[in-house]
């Protein structure tokens, strides 16, 4: 069964099958609704149902607060039409930026630092991510968080993990070279430092989830802020860690920054630090009055949210970016 979807305020109309989510159906008609993961993990496709019937599929907890649900908000990449629908939804600007790879630097056995020079200034806020078109597959994009605040060097910096069989990461690790061109879409995402409060910050990062958190810490240092920051940084194996020296240097240089690195691998006898990310967070302090920033895999984030809510952290103090596979 097909239904007509009308997007406001653009007035764009298209048909969607009952088995197609709104983001996917729009894409089939050449319309790009703002989205990130396309799998219910990031919240970037939030819209509002103005009229009509629909079915909401499952998505990551906390993407919609109860008040947002009550106001008719929905996660459009998991929303299926059950009648004609009128939706408030952001249609993405078609802007793209041509960039050139200036540097590819190994950070760990499976993580590369990618530096790109955009042909014109690329506006973004610290904590946001860029969508990068896969070379040779212009209809396929992957999302990567900027690892430095804007304006640091004129270059865009990313930390990218190699995934077995991953289309973009395999190209980057094994084919890409300095001078290669990459196309970026406009920066996206709501994961950002809230400027309107001075609550102590609890940051939890796993793997390359360190990228946007590092950018936030760098920004806070550059602005001369002394708001206490406690970063817990987790990896599976010791060889997976990167930037440990930089993080240690920051914690030595700035008394308001505390870093705890944790390892899941209990077999590594040479590791004298903490084991297991979330149990270490739980055992290390009272987080009830902290502003919390989480970044890493969707599984880690879901578990962290459960833990924090059970420790009485308010849900509107929890901010997260889930590095979900492209849906
Ligand atoms: C908002 C956002 C920001 C992100 N920022 C970063 C970042 O800064 N650094 C970074 O390294 N990644 C980041 N990611 C993940 C990234 O977008 C890609 O999903 C990842 O790099 C895989 O792309 P690929 O083309 O190599 O693999 P694909 O061809 O997409 O997938 C290959 C295989 O790997 C699996 N897979 C894909 N992605 C993941 C994943 N994230 N975890 C586990 N398995 C996966 C797929 O299911 C598939 O089986 C982010 C994701 C989102 C949504
Ligand atoms: S695009 Fe819908 S939740 Fe990420």
Ligand 1 within 6 A of CB of 37: yes
The residue out of 185, 209, 232 marking a domain boundary is 185
Which helix (H) or strand (E) segment holds residue 322: the answer is strand 318-322
The string of DSSP codes covering 41-76 is: SS-TTEEEEEES-EEE----TTSS-HHHHHTTEEEG
Task: Indicate if 172 and 248 belong to the same structural domain.
Answer: no
Ligand 2 within 6 A of CB of 234: no
Task: Indicate if 60 and 121 belong to the same structural domain.
Answer: no
Range of the domain at 162: 96-185
Whether the predicted pLDDT of 17 surpasses 70: yes
Q: Is residue 191 part of a domain?
A: no
Task: Indicate if 75 and 22 belong to the same structural domain.
Answer: yes
d(CA 75, ligand 1 centre) in Å? 20
User: Which residue's CA is the closest to the ligand 1 atom numbered 32?
Assistant: 166
User: From start to end of 186-279, where are the E strands?
Assistant: 201-206, 229-235, 257-263, 274-275
d(CA 190, ligand 1 centre) in Å? 19
Average pLDDT over residues 261-271: 89
Per-residue tokens: 206: 């796993």
User: Which residue's CA is the closest to the ligand 1 atom numbered 20?
Assistant: 325
Q: How many CA atoms lie within 13 A of 120 on its CB side?
A: 5
Task: Indicate if 121 and 157 belong to the same structural domain.
Answer: yes
Q: Which of 49-58, 63-72, 146-155, 182-191 has the highest mean pLDDT?
A: 49-58
Ligand 1 within 6 A of CB of 159: yes
* Alpha-carbon gap, residue 115 to 173, rounded angstroms: 13
Q: Residue 146 in contact with residue 215, Cβ under 8 Å?
A: yes
DSSP tag of 11: -
Q: Is residue 231 part of a domain?
A: yes
Task: Indicate if 82 and 130 belong to the same structural domain.
Answer: no
Query: To the nearest whole number, what is the mean pLDDT of the chain?
Result: 93
Q: Is residue 124 part of a domain?
A: yes
Ligand 2 within 6 A of CB of 214: no
pLDDT in tens, 21-32: 999 999 998 888
DSSP tag of 267: T
Q: Is residue 177 part of a domain?
A: yes
Q: Is residue 144 part of a domain?
A: yes
The residue out of 185, 219, 240 marking a domain boundary is 185
The residue out of 157, 185, 213 marking a domain boundary is 185
CATH code at 161? 2.40.30.10
Q: Is residue 195 part of a domain?
A: no
Cis peptide before 9 (omega within 30 of 0): yes
Number of domains making up the chain: 3
d(CA 257, ligand 2 centre) in Å? 32
| pLDDT interval class at 62 (50, 70, 90) | confident
Ligand 1 within 6 A of CB of 208: yes
pLDDT in tens, 84-122: 999 999 998 778 999 999 999 999 999 999 999 999 999
């Amino acid at each position: 069964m097909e239904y007509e979807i009308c997007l406001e305020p653009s007035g764009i109309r298209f048909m969607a099958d009952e088995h197609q989510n709104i983001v996917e159906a729009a894409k089939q008609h050449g319309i790009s609704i703002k989205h990130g993961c396309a799998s219910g993990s990031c919240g970037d496709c939030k819209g509002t149902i103005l009229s009509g019937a629909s079915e909401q599929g499952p998505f990551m907890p906390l993407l919609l607060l109860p008040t947002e649900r009550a106001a008719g908000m929905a996660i459009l990449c998991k929303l299926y039409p059950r009648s004609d629908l009128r939706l408030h939804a952001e249609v993405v600007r078609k802007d793209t930026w041509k960039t050139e790879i200036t540097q590819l630097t190994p950070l760990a056995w499976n993580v590369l630092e990618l530096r790109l020079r955009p042909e014109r200034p690329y506006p973004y806020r610290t904590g946001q991510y860029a969508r990068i078109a896969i070379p040779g597959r212009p209809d396929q994009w992957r999302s990567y968080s900027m690892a430095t605040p804007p304006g640091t060097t004129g270059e865009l910096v990313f930390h990218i993990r190699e995934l077995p069989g991953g289309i973009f990461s395999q190209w980057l690790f094994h084919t890409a070279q300095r001078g290669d061109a990459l196309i970026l879409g406009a920066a996206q995402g709501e994961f950002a430092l809230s400027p309107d409060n001075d609550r102590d910050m609890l940051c939890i990062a796993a793997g390359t989830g360190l990228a946007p958190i590092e950018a936030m810490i760098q920004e806070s240092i550059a602005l001369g802020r002394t708001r206490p920051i406690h970063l817990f940084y987790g990896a599976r194996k010791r060889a997976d860690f990167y930037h440990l020296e930089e993080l240690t240097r920051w914690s030595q240089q700035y008394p308001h920054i505390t870093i705890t690195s944790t390892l899941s691998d209990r077999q590594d006898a040479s590791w004298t630090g903490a084991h297991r990310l979330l149990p270490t967070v739980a055992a290390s302090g009272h987080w009830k009055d902290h502003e919390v920033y989480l970044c890493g895999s969707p599984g880690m984030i879901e578990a962290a949210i459960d833990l924090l809510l059970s420790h009485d952290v308010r849900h509107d103090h929890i901010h997260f970016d889930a590095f979900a596979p492209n849906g």
